[in-house]
A and B are shown apart, each in its own frame.
Chain A
Amino acid sequence: MPIHDQSYRRYAGSRNEPGSAWLVITKAGIRSLLGRKLFLAVMLAAWGQFFVRAVIFYLSANFPTLDVLAPSVETFRQFFEMQEIFVLFVTVYVGSGLIANDRRSNALQIYLSKPLSRTEYVAGKLGILAFFLLMVTLVPALALLLLEVMFSASLAFLSEHLFLLPAVTLYALAEVLLASFTMLALSSLSTSARYTAVLYAGVLFFTGAVFAILRGATRSSMLAWLSLRANLDQIGDVIFRLPPRFESPWPASVLVVLLLMGLSVVVLDRRVRGVEVVT
């Protein structure tokens, strides 16, 4: 008689109600990425600017002769602009394979045979990318605001610029959601993470190049809405109450960003299915 029966046994333990599986996907994705040294190096590099600015904040708060380094609204706007390159790296590194790899290995039918809706699947994948993008945008920006208060031992800066807290949050969310939705939609179109990465970078640079050429030809920035990056820049200026850098109306940029996110949702709805029907 065996000491321990290794045969199949019925399960009598507890079960979570359907609706929380997206969190399982997000947690597993985050754990998996945190186990990659190269990715950790990218994340560490992304926090480089934060550490430099933290030192500057400290110096300006403690040495009156360095008052010129004191933080302003522009400081936070510039912080986001300088983080753009890391937003691109993280979006490509984390996002390109999120759905493409599942499509390549037929994992969608495994996922969707569990008590997990297509919306939950997308939410889980979105959660992975959004988490790391927020870690290089919103989290360090909020941490900088906190450090400013701590180093100056005063709420004066914050009370003078009360809009800064919602502005930082709103801009970070706009940037993160646009990058996450567009990357997930592109990832769902392919079975190759590499191809998706090239496609995303291509869309970003191509729209920027088209705008740059037209700007040179027309000597006007009225067509800034053509560029993905320029739209975010324009929205960012408005959110941070700075003069818009392009002549195009900022509502046009908001509309383009919303349209892109809507289009991404439509693509995801069509591509994330348990059965792929080729007609």
Chain B
Amino acid sequence: MARLDRVSVQYGGQAALREVTAAFPAGAVGLLGPNGAGKSTLLKALLGFVTPAAGRMQVLGLDVAASPMRIRARLGYMPESDGHIPGMNGVSFVAYCGELAGLPRSDAMQRAHEVLHYVGLGEARYRNLETYSTGMKQRIKLAQALVHDPDLLFLDEPTNGMDPKGRDEMLDLVKDLATRKGVNLILSSHLLPDVEATCARVVVMHGGAVAAQGEIADLKAGRREVFEMRVKGDVDAFIRGLEAGGMECRGSGEAVMRVFVKPGQGPRDLFGAALRHQVQVRHLRPSLPTLEDVFAEAVGEE
């Protein structure tokens, strides 16, 4: 669906993307990374908003530099920041966006009603956009991105500012689009659960570069065995001891920490280390690698 080949983008003298090479196949792909990782810049580069200093990009088989209009006709973009056209109500706005995307006026209006019902704004479609709550603004942004039935959808932080219920509903919509409606999408988020709940594949970004990419299941499977553990005593000395033994700890103190062991190591080694450092083991159980572990390792965070 989209492909970047050694793409670099600079804002002034600041590098926003550094030789990014990534592939976004059909289906739902997560674009994961902390704030400032370059996720939004990557989407804007694919849209043709920013011209790369180097590299090539393809979307839907078309070169971004050569055919930006043909690409945008088949793309839907839900921006991160609030965006609307002043003075319009919900249905006028979405229909207007449909017309801008090339739909005939009557079709655009019909689609606007349908899409607004789908995103849960059926009752509020005649209200002025300025009166919408944050959650409703997120939904209307999704509606304007969907109205022309795009082949590929860019969702930039779609759950930003939403309450837990609204967030779940938005993620359900995204999941429904990807799994049941056959819409290909790239979901950019700094929230691991959002990506894990909706996408099968992920591209992890950090500092303007791709830190990891692949099927989430594969990325998890390639990891070492992990245990959840909570101890009481000199925790710092205990962690230093584990690390000296080739193990890796994430999270420390009173909270439950995750301990990654080397092949061949197991609970016996953990108890042995606890005994040597005179700490009480209050909790120990095998765990499964999570996307959070993949992410933490990719971005090099403790």
Known contacts A9-B114, A11-B107, A21-B102; decide if A274 and B47 are in contact (CB<8 Å).
Answer: yes
Tell me whether B114 and A24 are in contact (CB under 8 A): no
Instruction: Tell me the A26-46 residues at the B interface (CB within 8 Å).
Output: 28, 32
With A106-B81, A106-B83, A117-B69: A277-B102 Cβ-Cβ less than 8 Å:
no
CA distance A97 to B87 in the complex (A): 11
CB 8 Å contact bits of B12-26 with A (1 = contact, 0 = none): 111000000000000
CB distance from A276 to the nearest CB of B (A): 10
Residues of B within 8 A of A275 (CB): 44, 49-50
Q: Is the CB of A18 within 8 A of B114?
A: no
Whole-angstrom CA separation of A115 from B146 in the bound complex: 14
Q: Nearest CB to that of A24 among chain B residues?
A: B99
B269: CB under 8 A from chain A?
no
A109 to B97, CA, bound (A): 12
Of the candidate stretches B70-78, B161-169, B196-204, B253-261, the one touching chain A is B70-78
Interface contact A28-B96, CB-CB below 8 Å: yes
Q: Is there contact, CB below 8 Å, between B49 and A6?
A: no
A217-260 contacts to B (CB < 8 Å): none
Select B97's contact among A104, A114, A117, beta carbons within 8 Å: A114
B302 at the interface (CB under 8 A from A): no
Residues of A with C-beta under 8 A to B182: 10
B104 close to A (CB within 8 Å): yes
> Is B273 an interface residue, CB under 8 A from the partner?
no
Q: Closest B-chain residue to A35, C-beta based? A: B87
Known: A113-B79, A113-B145. 15 other contacts (CB 8 A): A8-B176, A8-B181, A10-B181, A13-B103, A21-B99, A32-B87, A105-B83, A110-B84, A114-B73, A114-B100, A115-B73, A273-B49, A274-B44, A274-B47, A274-B48
CB distance from B118 to the nearest CB of A (A): 5
Q: Which residues of B contact A6 (CB under 8 A)?
A: 114, 117-118, 122
Q: A28 to B93, alpha carbons, bound, how many Å?
A: 11
Q: Which A residues touch B76, using CB under 8 A?
A: 113
Set of chain A residues within 8 Å of B145, measured between Cβ atoms: 113
Q: Which residues of A contact B183 (CB under 8 A)?
A: 8
B296 beta carbon closer than 8 Å to chain A: no
Q: Are A115 and B103 in contact (CB under 8 A)?
A: no
- Asked if A58 is at the interface (CB within 8 A of a chain B CB), the reply is no
> Is A101 positioned at the interface, with any CB of B under 8 Å from its CB?
yes
Instruction: Tell me if A7 counts as interface (CB < 8 A to partner B).
Output: yes
CA distance A164 to B174 in the complex (A): 63
Bound CA span A126–B44, Å: 26
Cβ of A111 under 8 Å from chain B:
yes
Closest chain-B Cβ to A141's Cβ sits at a distance in Å of 32
**Are A105 and B103 in touch, CB under 8 angstroms?**
no
**In the complex the two chains form, what is the Cα distance from A10 to B72 in whole Å?**
17
Binding site secondary structure of chain A: loop
Taking Cβ atoms with an 8 Å cutoff, the residues of A that contact B are: 6-11, 13-21, 24-25, 28, 32, 97, 101-102, 104-107, 109-117, 273-275, 277, 279
* A116: chain B residues within 8 A (beta carbon): 69, 72, 100
> Given that A11-B148, A114-B101 are contacting pairs, would A277 and B49 also be in contact in the complex, using a CB cutoff of 8 Å?
no
**How far apart sit A189 and B100, CA to CA, in the bound complex (Å)?**
24
A275 to B80, CA, bound (A): 12
Query: B103 near A15 (CB under 8 angstroms)?
Result: yes
Of chain B, the residue at the smallest CB distance from A117 is B69
B1 CB to nearest A CB, Å: 16
- Complex interface residues of chain B between 93 and 121 (CB less than 8 A to chain A): 96-97, 99-104, 107, 111, 114-115, 117-118
Cα distance A9–B13 in the bound complex, in angstroms: 45
A114 to B274, CA, bound (A): 60
Q: Contact mask B143-154 → A, CB, 8 Å, 1/0?
A: 011101100000
Assess whether B82 is interfacial by the CB under 8 Å rule. yes
Known: A101-B86, A115-B73. A17 touches B102 (CB 8 A): yes
Complex CA–CA separation, A276 to B226 (angstroms): 44
- Tell me how far the C-beta of A35 lies from the nearest C-beta in chain B, rounded to whole angstroms: 10
If A8-B181, A112-B49 touch, whether A279 touches B100 (CB-CB below 8 Å) is no
Chain B proximity of A6: nearest CB distance (Å): 4
**Are A277's CB and B12's CB within 8 A?**
yes
B97 touches A115 (CB 8 A): no
